[in-house]
Amino acid sequence: MSTETTDAIASTEETPPAEPERASIDPHQTRRAWLLIAPTLVTLAVVIGYPVVRAIWMSFQSDETIDPQTGLFVEGGFAGLENYAHWILQQCGGQACPPGTNAASFWDTVFITLGFTVVTVAIELVLGFWFAIIMNGTFRGRGLVRAAVLIPWAIPTAVTAKLWYFIFAFDGIANSLMGTSIVWFSDKWAARAAIVISDVWKTTPFMALLILAGLQLIGQDVHEAAKVDGASAWQRFWHITLPLVKPAVVVALLFRTLDVLRIFDLPYIMTGGGAGDGNDTTTLSILVVNEIRSGFNSAAALSTLTFLLIFAVAFVFIKVLGADLSQDVKER
Amino acid sequence: MATSTDTATTDTRGSESDRKPPGKPTAPWLKTLRTYTGVAIIVIWGLGPFYWMGVTAFRDLQFTFDTTPWPTHVTWDNFETVFSTARGNHFGRALVNSVIISGLTTIVSMVVGVFTAYALARLEFRGKFIILGFVLAASMFPGVALITPLFELFTNIGWFGTYQALVIPDISFALPLTIYVLTAFFRDMPWELEEAAKIDGASPGQAFRLVILPLAAPGIFTAAILAFITAWNEFTIASQLSSDETQPVTVAIASFAGAQPHVEPYTAVMAAGFVVTVPLIVMVLAFQRRIVAGLTAGGVKG
Amino acid sequence: MPLKRTVGAISTVLLISSVAACGGDDAGGGAENSAFEENLDSRGPITYVQGKDNSGVAQPLVDKWNAEHPDEQVTLKEQTDEADQQHDDLVRNFDAQNEDYDVVSVDVIWTAEFAAKGYLQPLEGDLAINTDGLLAPTVEQGAYGGKQYTSPYASDGGMLYYRTDLVKEPPTTWDEMMEMCSIAKKENIGCYAGQFQKYEGMTVNASEAINGAGGSIVGEDGKTPTVDSPEAAEGLGNLVEAYENGNIPKEAITYTEEEGRIKFEEGKLLFLRNWPYVYGLAATEASSKVKGKFDVAPLPGTDGVGASALGGHNVGISAYSDNKATAIDFVNFILEEEQQRFLLTKGSLAPALESLYTDEALVKEFPYLPVLLESIQNAVPRPISPFYPAVTKAIQDNAYAAMKGETDVETALSDMSDAIGSASSSQ
């Protein structure tokens, strides 16, 4: 491979760079591109597109109601925006939804989910960066350390959740090691902290891995040059390291954000969405699951709202952080 | 590949966090100390809870709530429970299923993902933004809301409980990240080489296969690990669409039953988690250089 | 919500836009299900679906039947161990009109929902079950709207576990029990615990507290909320007060069945409300420190025996079964004494047949049987509502908030009442 490569490099240097193709859009290229992309589009259309379209359609139908005569379920019919009003305005049959209904905790759930996302992703970013910087160094046993840091990520989430559930049990090892007697899954902040800790533990490796990959792009010479110019460590980090690892970091951040916004297993297994007043660790996905059993169509409306919320977050993300891969490569 | 791993071994960028003004370098022993303290923290981070999982996995079920931090009441029972088929658990078979499902998912996602990422990174056409948006949007719908429609769909076409009913959703979960990682990676590839190969008479397919693909191997490897672990960990869909014959380990673990209703064989769950994790650790250990080298191979150009 | 079966699924996929068109003509939820009239006399192989066969009794039961009925073989299909997943699996298969799900195991709280959706064959006429000798509450629990839909398989009731070395006579009322908490304090152990995590266990414990004080959750019709009453306030207030003054340890708010059992076995609880399964474990487990030092009593109410919630599983016949005559024979086979005895001796499952509770040999092996019988006879079922998931949420959420002191008892009960009402009116 290496000989081929060097030959190829040599030949590029002799030929003028192939510029013209970039200027105008070639119809052949367009057709080839769509052919190459088609398998992805078909797969995603079947597995994600179809359920989403269906959910949107169903969200405009009423849930089945009970016929008082027969006691049997009957069709609900067209609902218009009723299912959406049910969630957004928290209306249950013309009045405010009382505590103990899913809709009553909708807005709390939205903010809890956003809160989890901001806190978890922020901690993961900082920790991930720190891990990556350390792992980027030279020390004995580096291979083992890199494998060790990946362990949390390799354990299936359902097992992770069980593991932390027992670690944070009242008689669990967390209280025993710290000599505390915190009822972790009762107090809302303790419960939220427990969930954040477990999620951060599990997914920091993912962040660290991608950032480490980015860090390795930076040659030592760049740093040395900056040092000679009198740049402080912070300046070097801010002006050299950060811009160079940004593309990798942004992709990692974006996908982590989308994942936490849909977080389900960890809080569901650890607290069932409980703690605090009873719904203080409920996330949007947990609310969807709870609602599916009560009414599929209103659950579809909730799924659609969740989708819209995440879409909005992702949109802002891409606009602000510039995660737009469709743009041409920026000059480095 | 070789180039990128070499850069990793050059020197201690780990200690670049030194805040002293330039010209007054930190004492080497302090640097070393700082590095190893960090390393120690990382190792405790990764291994601490995992260690506890191991301790529990080897502990007698009756002493589930024992919090002695070192192994006590050590027994192999839990592993026997895990692999025993007496209570209708088929963990061994599930392990094989997981390998099949994750393996297929990885291979297909890579092939499909490479095509797409190539098109996005290399070809000029309208609608790129829309496609990237569509791909990303696939990661925005609550996964739990996909179960019912997919169940109906796969039941109607007679796919319920088949491998494809599990692999296809897994592919679609793995694809968005795969495509984003690969596209970011391909954008930094030395495409001049492809042009050169074409000028030398290679077809576009040959140019890609013989020149670009070998260069891209590390990036693809990173994406493959991401896809494999995504599929390996998938539970929600599999729990509803797999049959006894095709269920993966995540589902098998969730359906471990105690000897009585209400009794949860927690220690056996930990033992199973242990069994599931060890092969991945070995794999990561074996390939860690490549995993990390993956995204950096773009550096070949610079 | 089945897609019309004639719509080829593949074409649905290719023409995503057409999805909108076919969602509308669905079978109508199940009101008058024409499947009720089909296959009533058919015999042949059937499938019996239940959750994980924890205690290894279902397969021997099926084997025994198969030996006697070579032409009407039963195949056992096990679901996962998670109740929610079992429920969802059943719903999806019913919706898909899967004829391979013939006899299904139904958690007692699902009967109304499945019946109202038209999933379950009414057990009447030729398909009636043999109710001779069955405990009445277990049969009533399988009825909805005046029709029988499911048959008892195994029952379950709550009992009060207490330490015989610390308490001579078990408390017969709640207040008596609270007085005895001074003993626990002296011993430096917790006094009372049940299942107070916010899950189905909370519904069970809150219902028992309310019913035990003479209150009720819903009226005779099974849907009108009646929980906003002074009696209910007293019942829930008992729990709230006990949690506040420490008679219920603060960590008990995170307890499910298992945490409580383990605390009790460690000797760190004086009283525990739990199901019969604890008895055998506490008496035999190597880690148990209360072997020979505990016994069971009926749950204490405000004045006299309290009101347990009913647990257990029923079995029903799918409306889409191809062989309903075989199915009902199999259901009645399960109810026979020999099978019920087997379920108890091999699986520790509480029988639905009353006579077994006084069977001398059995009582010797399972000393808790007389107490359990009293518990089941005095039991009050949880609301039999087709909107049970919403009803139970209304109960758990508000009872939990009250115990945590987030709301006062009166507000909690009035919210509970409103939430149950809004559940039954479907939004």
| Structural domain boundaries in chain B | 88-255
Residue B65 to chain C, least CA–CA distance (Å): 8
CB contact under 8 A, B156 and C5: yes
- Judge whether residue A88 has pLDDT over 50: yes
Residue B146 to chain C, least CA–CA distance (Å): 13
Residue C136: partners with Cβ closer than 8 Å, 6 or more residues away: none
Question: C389 touching A, CB under 8 A?
Answer: yes
pLDDT at C76 (0 to 100): 92
Residue B83 to chain A, least CA–CA distance (Å): 17
Which one of A15, A44, A303 makes the best mutation probe of the B interface by having the most chain B beta carbons within 10 Å? A44
CB contact under 8 A, A278 and C396: yes
What is the predicted ipTM? 0.80
Query: Nearest Cβ partner of A158 from B168, B250, B280?
Result: B250
Question: CA triplet A236, A242, A245: central angle to 5 degrees?
Answer: 130
Residues of B in contact with C78 (CB under 8 A): 88, 244
Q: Report d(CA B285, CA C176) in Å as an integer.
A: 62
Q: Report d(CA B48, CA B45) in Å as an integer.
A: 6
Query: Nearest Cβ partner of C54 from B148, B157, B258?
Result: B258
Q: Report d(CA A133, CA A218) in Å as an integer.
A: 12
Residue C320 to chain B, least CA–CA distance (Å): 16
- Judge whether residue A271 has pLDDT over 90: no
Tokens of B84: 């025993």
Q: Report d(CA C26, CA A6) in Å as an integer.
A: 65
Q: How far is CA C350 from CA A256, B82, C317, C368, in A?
A: 48, 28, 22, 10
Residue C66: partners with Cβ closer than 8 Å, 6 or more residues away: C73, C74
Q: Are strands C74-78 and C46-50 parallel, antiparallel or unpaired?
A: parallel
Domains of chain A with bracketed CATH: 116-331 (1.10.3720.10)
- Inter-residue contact B67 to C266 (CB < 8 Å): no
Q: How far is CA C390 from CA A41, A310, B136, in A?
A: 38, 27, 34
Query: Nearest Cβ partner of B150 from A22, A51, A261?
Result: A51
CB contact under 8 A, B62 and C5: no
- Judge whether residue A118 has pLDDT over 90: yes
- Inter-residue contact C424 to C387 (CB < 8 Å): yes
> Which residue type sits at A299?
A
Three-state secondary-structure class, residue C125: helix
CB contact under 8 A, A98 and C415: yes
Identify the top-confidence range among B56-70, B86-100, C312-326: C312-326
Question: CA triplet A281, A285, A289: central angle to 5 degrees?
Answer: 105
pLDDT at A219 (0 to 100): 61
Element (H, E) at B127: none
Chains in touch with C (3+ beta-carbon pairs under 8 Å) read A, B
CATH 3.40.50.150 fits B88-255, yes or no: no
Tokens of C50: 């239940």
Residue B293 to chain A, least CA–CA distance (Å): 6
Q: What is the pLDDT of residues C266-323, one digit of tens each?
A: 999 999 999 999 998 899 888 889 999 999 999 999 888 888 999 889 999 999 999 9
Q: How confident is the model at residue A217 (pLDDT cuts 50, 70, 90)?
A: low
Q: How far is CA A248 from CA B56, B299, C366, in A?
A: 37, 13, 64
Chains in touch with B (3+ beta-carbon pairs under 8 Å) read A, C
Q: Picking from A221-225, C91-95, C291-295, which range would have the lowest pLDDT averaged per residue?
A: A221-225
Nearest Cα neighbor of A152 from A171, A177, A127 is: A127
> In A, residues 165-224, which contact B (CB 8 Å cutoff)?
166-167, 169, 171-173, 176-177, 201, 204-205, 209-210, 212-220, 223
pLDDT at B15 (0 to 100): 42
Cβ contacts below 8 Å, chain B against chain C, sum to: 89
Rg (CA), chain C: 23
Three-state secondary-structure class, residue B299: helix
Q: What is the pLDDT of residues C113-162, one digit of tens each?
A: 999 889 999 998 889 888 888 999 899 889 988 899 999 998 999 999 99
Q: Kindly give the residue spans of alpha helices, DSSP state H, lying in chain B.
A: 2-9, 28-57, 77-83, 91-122, 128-137, 147-156, 163-186, 192-199, 204-206, 213-233, 236-241, 249-254, 266-294
Which of C363 and A55 is assigned the larger pLDDT?
Answer: C363
Q: Which residues of B touch C (CB under 8 A)?
A: 60, 62-65, 86-88, 147-148, 151-153, 155-157, 239-240, 244, 251, 254-264
CB contact under 8 A, A63 and C427: yes
Q: How confident is the model at residue B68 (pLDDT cuts 50, 70, 90)?
A: confident
pLDDT at C206 (0 to 100): 94
Residues of C in contact with A86 (CB under 8 A): 427
Question: B116 touching A, CB under 8 A?
Answer: yes
pLDDT at A24 (0 to 100): 59
pTM: 0.83
Q: How confident is the model at residue B257 (pLDDT cuts 50, 70, 90)?
A: low
Tokens of A67: 């016929």
pLDDT at C21 (0 to 100): 32
Residue A94 to chain C, least CA–CA distance (Å): 9
Nearest Cα neighbor of B161 from A208, C100, A40, A286 is: C100
- Inter-residue contact A110 to B256 (CB < 8 Å): no
| Angle formed by the axes of helices A50-58 and A296-321, nearest 10° | 120
Tracing tokens 């994406």 back to the chain, one arrives at: B223
Residue C217 to chain B, least CA–CA distance (Å): 26
- Inter-residue contact B173 to A262 (CB < 8 Å): no
pLDDT at C204 (0 to 100): 94
Question: A131 touching B, CB under 8 A?
Answer: yes
